[in-house]
Amino acid sequence: MLIRLRRICFAAEIRVIDLGNGEETMRYMRLKKATGVLVVLGLILGVQPCIAQQNVIHWKGQGMYADLPPQKDFPGWFAGSGGAGKFFADWIKRRSNGRLIIDMVPPGSVVKARESLNAIRTGSIDFIGHTYAGFYSGQMPEANVQIGLPFAWETADEMWDGLYRWGLDKELKKIYAEHNAYPITWPMGNIYGFGTSFDISTPEMMKGKRIRALGIYGAMVQKLGGSPAVLPMPELYQALMLGTIDGGIHGAGSLQESKLSEPEKFFVTYPNLNTIGNTFLINLKKFEALPEDIKTIIREDAPYIMKGWASDYSNYARRVLTPLVDKGVIKEVRWSEADAARIRQMGIGLWDVVAKKSPRTAKLVEIVKAQARALGKIP
């Protein structure tokens, strides 16, 4: 009887795929009702339904950013940077028909931001959703390209183009594989700039200030006369309140997510330094052990799903910033065209600094340059 029930369930699943006209729909409805009756009878008789015959895989997952209360203007109500991993976990559970469940734990409870790559490599955690590759650019210099070189991708579409049309994602996956990691990278947030506790009406006002800046952006701060500091986002608020840090490079959404609108008073929105490149990391051995259909879902569908979620995040960032500006909590700063042009040239000049970090980094930078030329950004 158990064998028959399994076969009936399989036939019902095939019929769903074959739906195409009214006659087929009626057949499916009759079959669906019959299957439902058999499943109920099976439960009464102690026979498990079809889904129970499949193995359920559990992963332990953690994000790196603060959780926010649910918000209706995000898919699934999973809001803010901290909502990205939860959204993905919810999506993959539904998309895999409950066969892959990622048990998300609070940020920082298992792994600190600086240890993201090591934790995935050693298997201390199976999924990190999400992290910022600038945290481990010292271990993996190619991460400087992944997070977005200064002014290379000023919109989310430009970053997507670089990753998936120009082939950067394919190259990055080869590099991550050496660290036993499978990355999913997507553009998140297109308002990325300096938030400060001091007046930053011109770039020169950064001189002598201590600024949170990750990866190659630390070199930009140095060129502007500031002192860069590597701090995870959860630590930035306290450092600003204590006065040990004067500002940071971050997305506008962090003014709400990390409560940075309390210690910060100014935020530079022009020029936009970059579109934020964020990443999910999956332990590669765990990824390779998945059933083929789930691996295909993650490979082919996940980047598009996260691009859709991130488009809501970009709008959310502006929804955060505008009322803070209107109420006088934050002063939105737009540098002059002359200053913006000078800073752009400074940022683009740092691409060659990144290229010198390793032969593979040089290859990635050349891909970015080819894209930039095609877009008319550089000669």
Per-position b or e across 137-155, b if 16+ CB within 10 A of its CB: beebbbbbbbbbbbbbbbe
Which SS3 state, helix, strand or coil, does residue 227 take?
A: strand
Average pLDDT over residues 10-34: 41
pTM of the model: 0.82
207-263 pLDDT, tens digit each: 999 999 988 999 999 999 999 999 888 899 999 999 999 999 999 988 988 899 999
Write down the mean pLDDT value for the chain: 86
Helices (H), ranges, 258-301: 284-288, 292-300
State how far the Cα of 347 lies from the Cα of 195, in Å rounded to an integer.
18
State how far the Cα of 217 lies from the Cα of 149, in Å rounded to an integer.
8
Whole-Å CA distances, 251 to 4, 51, 151, 220, 311: 56, 42, 15, 17, 14
What the block records as the tokens of 317 is 């960032």
On the question of pLDDT at 17 being above 60, the answer is no
Which SS3 state, helix, strand or coil, does residue 334 take?
A: strand
State how far the Cα of 278 lies from the Cα of 297, in Å rounded to an integer.
19
Which SS3 state, helix, strand or coil, does residue 280 take?
A: strand
State how far the Cα of 197 lies from the Cα of 245, in Å rounded to an integer.
9
User: pLDDT higher for 6 or 103?
Assistant: 103
The dihedral built from the CA positions of residue 357, 360, 361 and 367, taken in this order, carries a sign that is: positive
Q: Find where tokens 């439960």 sit.
A: 43
State how far the Cα of 326 lies from the Cα of 236, in Å rounded to an integer.
24
- CB contact at 8 A, 306 and 81: no
Q: Omega of the bond prior to 130 within 30 degrees of 0, cis?
A: yes
Other beta carbons within 10 angstroms of residue 268's beta carbon come to 26
Q: Side-chain half-sphere of 325: how many Cα atoms within 13 Å?
A: 16
132-187 pLDDT, tens digit each: 898 899 899 999 999 999 999 998 899 999 999 999 999 999 999 999 999 999 89
Residues 348-356: contacts with CB under 8 Å, at least 24 apart: 348/149, 348/150, 348/151, 348/152, 348/377, 348/378, 350/149, 350/150, 350/216, 350/219, 350/220, 350/223, 351/149, 351/150, 351/152, 353/216, 353/219, 354/141, 354/144, 354/145, 354/149, 354/216
Average pLDDT over residues 119-136: 93
State how far the Cα of 65 lies from the Cα of 251, in Å rounded to an integer.
12
In degrees rounded to 5, what are phi and psi of residue 112?
Answer: -85, 155
Which SS3 state, helix, strand or coil, does residue 55 take?
A: coil
Q: Single out the residue of 54, 148, 69 nearest to residue 101, CA to CA.
A: 54
Average pLDDT over residues 354-377: 97
| Burial class of residue 318 in the structure, from the number of CB atoms within 10 Å of its CB (0-12 exposed, 13-18 middle, 19+ buried) | middle
DSSP count for the chain of H helices, then E strands: 16, 11
